[in-house]
Structure 1
Amino acid sequence: MSNTEVQTDFSTGDAPRTHTQSQQFWFEDGNIVLDAEGTLFRVHRTVMGKHSKFFEDMFDIELRSTTPDRPCTPDRCPIISLQDPQCDLELYLKIIYEPFAAPALWKGLNMNQLLALHRLGMKYQCDAMNQAVADRLNAEFPSKLDDFLAAYTSHLSHRGEEACKCGTLACAPESLIKIINYAEETDLQVVLAVACFLAFDISISVRSNRLFPIDKP
C-alpha cells in the first residue's frame, strides 16, 4: 500500500509543508499524529499507550499541558516528531495494530528488522516487544540437538563465508555477528552459545572487524 503526499499546515505560522501521509496507518478517528522522517501516522493514544510506558506517560503529562505553538493538523490533532526511521516505526505499528498477522510477520523478519524492533522496544519501554524479539531468537537458535540439526543441517554443509541459502538468520555472516552482539547485550546465553558455534568458520578478520568494530575518528 503506497503512501500519499499531502500539504500539512502545522498551524505554527509556518508555510504548509509537504509530508507523506501513511495510508496504512492513518485513522480518521486517530487522536495523535506521529511524524517519522516526514511520514505522518495518525494513530490512537490508547493503543500506543497500552503497549508503551513511554507513550503512556507522555500522553498523560505532555499533551495535557497547553502549548499554543504545538504542531497540529487542521482539525487540531497534535503532531509529535520522532527521531526514528520511517520504516522502523511502520514495522512497530504493524506489530501492535495487526495482532492476527503478527505471528507470520515475526517469522519473516530479518535480523536488521528484529534489531530495529528491539531498539524501539527499549526506547519506548515496550517490554512485550523486547520479549517477542528474544522469543524469536530463542526459537531460531534451539538448545536441543535434534532441533538444532533440523534447522541447521543445510547451513552446516557450507564452510566459512561460502554462499549459503539455508534461509535462517545465521545465513549471512553479518547477520550472525549482529546476533552474537545482541545476545551478549541482552544476556541470551543459549542464543549466544549457538550463534558463536555457527560463527566458528567465519574468518578471523571478519570476526575481529564486526565483533569489535574500530571507531572511526
Structure 2
Amino acid sequence: MSTLTRADGLWFEDGNLILQAEQTLFRIYRGLLCARSSVFGDMFAFPPPAEGNMMFDGCPIVQTYDSAQDMGFFLRAVLDSDFFEAPPSQTTMPILEGVLRLSTKYDVRYLRQRAMSHLLTTYPTTLAGWKARDAARTIPSVENTPFVVLNLAREFDMPWLVPSVAYCISSHDINKTLDGAPWAGKTQAQGEGVVKLGWADIKMCVKGRNNILVRQNAMALSFAKGSRRAPNRAAAVSPAPSTTTSCPAPDQCAFMRFRCAEILSRWGTAGFLDFFDEQQEAFAPGFCEGCLEAFRGTCERASEEMWEALPGMFGLEEWEELERVRGFA
C-alpha cells in the first residue's frame, strides 16, 4: 500500500470495495457499482478466486487494467449525478473520453448514451444541427478536436459521427491528416503531442476532401456563370439569371457574385456549409437587398444538397442508414 495513492474524493471510509487502476486506489460501494454496471454485477456474482483478493481494512482490492484518469472520471460520473450530465450541460474531451471508454467496457449504458449525446452537439447528423452547433456544443472548441473524435468514433463504433467529423477535418490543413495534428489535450488514447489517424481514415479523408473541393469549385463556377462575367462598374449589363428582376444595381450585384466565386474557388479546404454565414460581412454590403436574399437561397439549397451527399463523398452509408445504426447503439 505504501506505493499506492488514495484517489482524492473517491475514497470513502465506509466503502466496501477498493478498485486499483495503475497506482491509484478507489474505495467505493460495491452494491452501487453493481447496480449501475452489468459487467461488475456479473463479476461479483461469481465466488472470488481460490487465492482470494488482496485485502485492506476488510475490503477486497480488485485490480483493473484501466488508466487512473479514466477510472476517476468514470466513478465520479457513476457516484455524482452532477459530474457528467447530459447536454446542455458542459463537459470536456478528457472527461468524455474516460466516461465513454469505461461506460462501454463496463456496460453503463446511460453514461455511454450521454457521452454520445455530447459528441452529437458538435458533430451532428442533420444540417440544422450543424448550423446550431456553435451555440449547442457542450465540448470546448479546442484546436484539432475532430482528429481525436474520429479516432473515438472508430474505437467505439459510432459511424454516424464520421461524416461531419471528416468534413471538419477537411477544413484543416491537409498535412494534419497526413502527418498528425498537434493536440494539447490530455486524453488516454492520444496523450499530449500529436493525434494520428489510421491509414484507412487518412485515405478516406483525402478522397472525401477532394470530392468536397470538386463540389465547391462547381458552386463557384455556378456563381460566376450567374454573374455572366466580372463586370466593369462603368458598364451596364443585363440582370443575371440569379439576380432579382427588380434589382436596382444589376452590375454591382453581378460583380459581387463573381467575387463570391473567387473567394470560394481559392479555398483548398472544406467550408461551403458555412460559406454564407461566415463570409457575408465581406460581400453582403455589395448586394442589393433582393439579390442578397436570392443568393442566400442559392447557398442554402446548395448546402442542403452537399449535406445529403456528405456521407457518400467519404465512401460511407447514407444518413438514413447511419441514423438507423445509431438507434441501436
Residue 74 (structure 2) aligns with:
92
Tell me the equivalent position of 1:138. 120
| 3-state secondary structure, aligned to 2:85 | helix
CA, structure 1 residues 114+213, in 2 after alignment: closer, same or farther (shift >3 Å)?
farther
**1:124–1:108 CA distance, 2 compared to 1 (3 A):** same
Identity %: 25
TM-score (norm 1): 0.70
| Cα distance in 1 for residues equivalent to 2:62 and 2:111 | 22
Q: Relative to structure 1, is the Cα distance of residues 82 and 184 closer, same or farther in structure 2, using a 3 angstrom cutoff?
A: closer
> Which residue does the alignment assign to 1:4?
none
Structure 1 residue 94: Cα displacement = 0.8
Name whichever of 135-144 and 87-96 sits farther off. 135-144
Q: Distance in 2 between matches of 1:212 and 1:28?
A: 45
State the structure with more CA Rg.
2
Seen in structure 2, the aligned counterparts of structure 1 residues 47 and 168 have a Cα distance that, compared at 3 Å, is: closer
The one-letter code of the counterpart of 1:67 is E
Distance change >3 Å, CA 106–CA 91, structure 1 → 2:
farther
Counterpart amino acid of residue 158 in structure 2: D
Equivalence for 2:6: 21
Which structure shows the bigger proportion of residues in helix conformation? Answer: 2
Unpaired runs of 5+ in structure 2?
180-195, 201-329
1:105, 1:134 → 2: CA distance? 10
Structure 1: 5+ residue stretches without partners: 1-7, 9-16, 154-165
RMSD of the TM alignment (CA)? 2.9
Residues 76-155 of structure 1 mapped to structure 2, 5 A cutoff: 76-103=58-85, 107-152=89-134
Distance in 1 between the 2:87 and 2:116 partners? 15
Please state whether the residue corresponding to 1:211 is helix, strand or coil.
Answer: coil
Distance 2:82 2:69 in 1: 20
C-alpha offsets along residues 20-43 of structure 1, whole Å, 9 cap, x if unaligned?
112411122211101112221111
For 1:38 and 1:128, the matched residues in 2 are separated by 28
Query: Could you tell me how far apart the structure 2 residues matched to 1:146 and 1:124 are?
Result: 34
In the other structure, the counterpart of 2:166 is 196
1:177 is aligned with what amino acid?
F
**Partner amino acid for 1:89?**
M
1:208 to 178, 195, 198: 178
Deviation string 1:36-93 (CA, Å, 9 cap, x unpaired) is 1222111111111112122111111143x5535x3100x3210011121111111001
Letter matched to residue 167 of structure 2:
F
Is 1:71 the equivalent of 2:54? yes
Is 1:180 matched with 2:180? no
CA contact (8 A) 1:33 1:77 kept: yes
Quote the residue 2:33 is aligned against.
48
Contact kept? 1:170, 1:176, Cα under 8 Å: no
Question: Paired residue for 1:37?
Answer: 22
AA partner of residue 199 (structure 1): I
TM-superposed CA distance for 1:104, in Å, is 7.7
Q: Distance in 1 between the 2:154 and 2:55 partners?
A: 42
Asked whether the 8 Å contact 2:21–2:66 carries over to 1, the reply is yes
2:146·2:165 contact (CA, 8 Å) conserved in 1?
Answer: yes
Change (3 A) 1:178 1:101: closer
